[in-house]
Amino acid sequence: MTATSATAVRVRARTGGPKEDEPKLLEHLAGWTLVVVLAMLVTQAGLL
């Protein structure tokens, strides 16, 4: 194995995180849902 191919293998190693090619629609929907629910709770509690 050459130094270049060894470096390429190390760079491409997966760490178990989310895949790069998956659509992020569900992640965005969950994030915005959390923002809206938090805003509703803050306004209902009279903190704003």
Q: What does the pLDDT look like over 3-46, one tens digit per residue?
A: 666 555 556 676 776 666 666 888 899 999 999 999 999 999 98
Going 18 to 24 to 26 to 29, the CA torsion angle's sign is: positive
| pTM more than 0.85 | no
Answer yes or no: is 31 within a domain. yes
Radius of gyration of the chain (CA): 21
Answer yes or no: is 36 within a domain. yes
Give which of 28, 7, 27 is closest to 17, Cα–Cα: 27
d(CA 26, CA 30): 6
Structural domain that includes position 44: 24-48
Answer yes or no: is 18 within a domain. no
pLDDT at 20: 66
pLDDT at 10: 57
- Please state the domain count of the chain: 1
3 state DSSP class of 24: coil
Any idea what DSSP says for residue 37? H
Is residue 41 within 8 Å of residue 34, measured between CB atoms?
A: no
